[in-house]
Amino acid sequence: MAGVLVNKHKVTSFDVARVAGVSRSTVSLVLSGSNAVIIAEATKVRVREAAIQLGYTPNSAGRMLASGATKTIGLIISNPELLLVDGFIPPTLYAITKVANEHGYNVLTEGLPDLNNDSAFVDLVSSRRIDGMIVLNPRTHDRQLEALIERNYPVVLMGTINHPKEITVNIPTVADLTQAVNYLYKLGHRKIGHVALSAGGSSATDYRIRVIRLALQKHKLELPEACITYANFSAESGLVAGRELLTRNNGVTAVLAGNDTIAIGLMRAARDLGKRLPEDMSIIGYDDLPLAAYIEPPLTTIRTEPLIQGEIAARLLIDILQGRPLVSRAVDLKSKFIVRGSCKAV
Amino acid sequence: MAGVLVNKHKVTSFDVARVAGVSRSTVSLVLSGSNAVIIAEATKVRVREAAIQLGYTPNSAGRMLASGATKTIGLIISNPELLLVDGFIPPTLYAITKVANEHGYNVLTEGLPDLNNDSAFVDLVSSRRIDGMIVLNPRTHDRQLEALIERNYPVVLMGTINHPKEITVNIPTVADLTQAVNYLYKLGHRKIGHVALSAGGSSATDYRIRVIRLALQKHKLELPEACITYANFSAESGLVAGRELLTRNNGVTAVLAGNDTIAIGLMRAARDLGKRLPEDMSIIGYDDLPLAAYIEPPLTTIRTEPLIQGEIAARLLIDILQGRPLVSRAVDLKSKFIVRGSCKAV
DNA sequence: TTGTAGGCGTTATCAA
DNA sequence: TTGATAACGCCTACAA
C-alpha cells in the first residue's frame, strides 16, 4: 500500500483517527506539530504511520475555515503588462515565491486589470483568501490600498506611496544616480539627456528626474524639458522616445535611460541616426538586467537588486503574519553604479 | 455606511439574510448567481443591497469546503531559476493570469525546488488547494506528474512528456528550425554550429538537435559533436559555451543559439574573439524576445509566442474544469522564422 | 419561490 | 495526555 501518490477517495482525519485508534483532535494535534500540548511519543508514531499509510493530507479549506489562516500570501502586480517588457518583476517573483515556500506559504499572483476598476486585491482580502500581501509598484493614490494600510492589514509595499503607516522595501537611488551624473560630468559631458521610464506623473519617473536635476545643479547644469522624452518601459518605447530626444537638436551627448530595456531601444535609435556607440553618444541604463553586460557596448548601469528586494519584502510580510517584531518598517536598500563600456569621454 | 472597503468585524451570510429578511440559502442563491432556481427580482435586489450595505463578501474557505471547488489553478514552474535568465516564463505567466482572472480563477504559483524532492504540486493536489494545474516545462520522467495524468487529474502541460493521456500545448518548431537551416545554407554557410539551450538530456534541447541534424542532412551536411556546445539558458552561459564553440577550430561560420539570451552571450563571445557581426559570424536566436529587434545586430530568430501558448493552456484547463468538451488534447502552435540582420552571406 | 436541515473537514475549547 | 463537542461559513438537497 506504500507509494500512494494521490488518493482518489477522500481520506479525512477521521479515517486516520480510526486506524490509529485515537480521536480526530489527537490526529490534528500530532500532524500540525503543535508544541502547545504534549503527546506521548508512541501515539505520535501511530498517528503518523496511519496518515502515511492512508495517504492523508489535511484538507486546506477545512483547515482555513477552522484556523482562520490561509497560509497564502497575495502578490499584487500593479502593472501586469510589465511582465512583457520589463526585467524587474520576474526575479522579484522568484525571490518572493522562494521565501514564501520555505516558510510554508503559497503565493497567489494577482494582476490589477486597470486603474478604474475596484482593485482586485480587495476581494482577495475580504473573502479571506490570503493572509497578507505584497504590492509591486503601488499606485500613489490608491484609496483602497491606503484604507488597508490604515486598518493595519498586513501589507508590504515594494516601492512607496508615502503613507505614514506603510511598510516598505525600497531602493532610493539618489546616491547612484548622482554618481552616474558625476561620472558623465567627469567624462566631459555638459548636455545630458534623459529618456524617462514612463509618462510623467508616475512616482518612480518623477523621482528620478528630480534626482538627476539635483545632481546636475551641483555642476551648474540643467535638465530642461527639451532634454527629456518619455518612454514606457519597453525597448520599442525606448527606440521611439530615444529617436525623438536625439533629433531635437538639443546638443545632448549623453543619456540616462529609464531602464536597461529602454537603453537598448535608445541605442538602436542612436545607431539608426548614424551615431557610433559609445564614441558619439554615452548611455547609462538602470536595473542591470542579466544580459546588460553582454550587449554591445556592454551597458553601464545602476543595479537595483530585485532578488534581494523581493526576499526582504517576503521576510517582512511573514514576520508580520507570524507576529514577530519588525526589523524596520522601511527597509532602504543600496543600489550600485556599475561601470561598463557604454560611456566615453567627449 | 457606504464606501465600506474592508470590514473589520466578520459579516456572514447570516447577517445579510437577517438584514434582507430572507434565509441564508436565499442569500447564497442570489449572490452566486445560480440560474438553477428562479428567485423574485425584488428579493434579489433586497439581498444585493443588504450585502453591499454590510460589505459582505463570501468567505472563500467556507465556499471551498461546501462546494468542493477552490476556483484556483496552480501554475507549476519546473525550473523556477529560469525566471532569472530566460524570457519565456514571464509572458506565459501574464497570459495565464489574465485568462484565469477573466474566468473567475486565481493563480497559485509554485516553483519546484529540485529534482529529488517530492514535487510540491502533490501537496497542492492532495490538500485540494487547487482545482487543476498548468505545468511549465514538465520533466520527462516525473512519476508523480504521470500518476496525476493517469488518474485524469486536470493538468495541462506546456511542453510534452509524451504520455498518451497528456493534454498539452506545444510548439513543434520543426518547420522553422528547418527553415532557419535552409536560410543559412542559401547564404552559403556549410559549417553550422549549435549552442544548445541546456545540457543534453532535456527534451527541448535534444529535440532541437535532432531537427537541426535532419535539416542539415537534406543538404548533405552534418552537425558533429565538435560543432555543439551546451549552455544553460542565460547570456552568461551563452558567452561561455559560445567561446568554447568558436575556439574549437571547427570552421563554423554560422550558429543556431538555444535562445535569444544565449545568442546575446554568444555575440559577446564572438566579438571578444575579434569577429565582426554579422560579417564574420552569422547567428540565429530562438524565442524572439521583445528586445531582439533592437540589439546590434538585430537578431534573426524564431518566434515562439509565449503569450498565445499561455492563453491557450489556460483556456484548455478552464474548459476541463468547467466540463466543456476539449477542442483538442494536443494543441500544436505555429512558430515563425523572423529574418533580421544577424546573418550574412559567406 | 423560499426556508430548513445537514454536511463539508478541520481546529479549538474544554473536561475528563 | 487524550477525547467529546462545538464552532468555522458556506452550499445544496429537499421540503414547504
Q: Tens digits of per-residue pLDDT, B192-217? A: 999 999 998 787 899 899 999 999 99
Report which residue is nearest nucleotide C9 when distances run from CA to C1': A62
Listed as ranges, the nucleotides of chain D within 7 A of a protein C-beta are: 1-5, 7-14
Query: Would you call B195 helix, strand, or coil by DSSP?
Result: strand
pLDDT digits (tens, 9 = 90+) for A204-260: 899 999 999 999 999 999 999 999 999 999 999 999 999 999 999 899 999 999 999
Measure the CA–CA gap between A342 and A340, rounded to whole angstroms. Answer: 6
How big is the CA angle at B58 (ends B53 and B61), to the nearest 5 degrees? 155
Mean pLDDT of B250-271: 97
Region B76-96: what's the mean pLDDT?
A: 92
pLDDT at A306 over 90: yes
- Cell (9 digits) for B158: 506546456
pLDDT at site B79: 87
Rounded distance, CA B150 to CA B74, Å?
A: 18
Report residue B180 as a C-alpha cell.
532557419
Which nucleotide is closest to B23, CA to C1'? Answer: C3
- Give the helix/strand (H/E) hosting A74: strand A72-77
Residues 284-323 of A with CB under 8 A from B: 290-291, 293-296, 298, 307
Q: What is the pLDDT of residue B23?
A: 84
Give the C-alpha separation, A281 to A262, whole Å. 15
pLDDT band at A3 (very low <50, low <70, confident <90, very high): very low
The Cα B70–Cα B60 span in angstroms is: 8
Residue B116 has pLDDT above 70, yes or no: no
Q: Cβ neighbours of residue B314 under 8 Å, at least 6 residues apart?
A: B73, B95, B96, B98, B99, B100, B134, B156
Q: Which three cell numbers stand for residue A298?
A: 556592454
pLDDT greater than 80 at residue B272? yes
Separation in Å: C8 C1' and B26 CA? 19
Secondary structure of chain A: what % helix, strand, coil (to 5)? 40, 15, 45
Residue B301 sits at φ, ψ, to 5 deg, of -160, 180
Cell triple for residue A176? Answer: 547612484
Confidence of residue B6 (pLDDT cuts 50, 70, 90): very low
Mean of pLDDT values over A84-109? 94
**Residue A115 in contact with partner chain B when CB distance is under 8 A:** no
Q: What is the pLDDT of residue B3?
A: 37
- Cα–Cα dist B285/B291, whole Å: 12
Q: Please provide the average confidence, as pLDDT, over all residues in chain B.
A: 91
* Mean pLDDT within B4-21: 74
Task: Report the alpha-carbon distance of residue B195 to residue B281 in Å, rounded.
Answer: 14
Residues of chain A with C-beta less than 8 angstroms from the C-beta of B126: 6-7, 55, 57
Which bases of chain C are contacted by protein, using any atom under 7 A from a CB? Answer: 1-13
Check residue A50 and give left, alpha or beta (phi > 0: left; psi -120 to 50: alpha). alpha
With CB atoms and an 8 Å threshold, state whether B295 touches A295.
Answer: yes
Q: Which three cell numbers stand for residue B295?
A: 540589439
Identify the bridge partners of residue B54 per DSSP, sorted by sequence position. none
State the pLDDT at residue B202. Answer: 81
Q: Are strands B330-332 and A301-303 parallel, antiparallel or unpaired?
A: unpaired
What is the torsional sign of CA B58, B63, B67, B68?
positive
A38 touches strand C (CB under 7 A): no
Q: Which of A19-28, A106-115, A222-231, B135-144 has the highest mean pLDDT?
A: A222-231
In this prediction, residue A9 has a pLDDT band, given cuts at 50, 70 and 90, of low
Is the pLDDT confidence value at B167 over 90?
yes
| Best CA proximity match to A235, nearest among A282, A279, A289 | A289
As a whole number of angstroms, the distance between CA A102 and CA A79 comes to 27
Of A186-200, A214-228, B130-144, B284-298, the poorest mean pLDDT is in: B130-144
A7 touches strand C (CB under 7 A): no
Q: Which pLDDT value is given to residue A35?
A: 66
3-state secondary structure of B85: helix
pLDDT of residue A48 exceeding 90: no
Closest by CA to B342, choosing from B299, B287, B293, B280, is B299
CA distance A310 to B90: 16
Angle between helices B41-54 and B24-31 (to 10 degrees): 90
Does residue A118 surpass a pLDDT of 80? no
More confident residue, B33 or A327: A327
CB contact under 8 A, B83 and A91: yes
The answer to whether A304 and A336 have CB atoms below 8 angstroms apart is no
Interface test with chain B among A59, A291, A299, A342, by most B beta carbons within 10 Å: A291
CB neighbours of residue A5 within 10 Å: 18
A265 touches chain B (CB under 8 A): yes
Q: What is the pLDDT of residues B221-258, one digit of tens each?
A: 999 999 999 999 999 999 999 999 999 989 999 999 99
pLDDT band, residue A2 (cuts 50/70/90): very low
pLDDT at A1 over 50: no
Q: What average pLDDT does the segment B334-345 reach? A: 96
Please report where in the chains the cell 559549417 appears, as a residue. Answer: B191
Tell me the C-alpha distance between A87 and B260, whole Å: 15
The residue with cell 529602454 is: A262
Question: How confident is the model over B299-325, as a mean pLDDT?
Answer: 95
Q: What's the start-to-end Cα distance of chain B, in Å? A: 76
Helix (H, G, I), strand (E, B) or coil at A196: strand
- For B36-81, the pLDDT digits (tens) are 677 888 888 888 888 888 888 899 999 998 888 999 999 999 889 9
Size of interface A-B (CB pairs under 8 A): 194
Global pTM value: 0.92
Number of C-beta neighbours around residue A143 at 10 A: 11
More confident position, B19 or B253: B253
Mean local confidence (pLDDT), A294-302: 98
pLDDT in the model for residue A119: 74
d(CA B75, CA B101): 13
Rounded to 5 degrees, φ, ψ at A31 are -70, -25
Query: And the C-alpha cell for B43?
Result: 428579493
The contacts of residue A315 (CB under 8 Å, 6+ apart) are A99
Does the pLDDT value for residue B120 go beyond 70? yes
Q: How far apart are CA A108 and CA A321, in angstroms?
A: 16
The whole-number pLDDT of residue A311 equals 97
Q: Are A245 and B274 in contact (CB under 8 A)?
A: no
Tens-digit pLDDT profile for residues A154-166: 999 999 899 999 9
As to burial, measured by CB atoms within 10 angstroms (0-12 exposed, 13-18 middle, 19+ buried), residue A124 is buried
Q: What is the spatial distance, in angstroms and rounded to an integer, between the CA atom of A25 and the C1' atom of C14? A: 12
Which residues does residue A75 pair with via DSSP β-bridges, in sequence order? Answer: A109, A134
Q: Is B282 helix (H, G, I), strand (E, B) or coil?
A: strand
CA distance A27 to chain B (A): 16
Nearest CA to CA, how far is A126 from chain B (Å)? 6
Q: How confident is the model at residue A59 (pLDDT cuts 50, 70, 90)?
A: very high
State the average pLDDT for chain A.
Answer: 91
Q: Where are the alpha helices (DSSP H) in A140-293?
A: 143-150, 174-186, 203-217, 235-246, 260-272
CB B78 within 8 A of CB B253: no
Q: What is the pLDDT of residue B260?
A: 97
Asked if A122 and B141 count as a contact pair (C-beta separation under 8 A), the reply is no
> What cell numbers appear for B14 in the block?
447570516
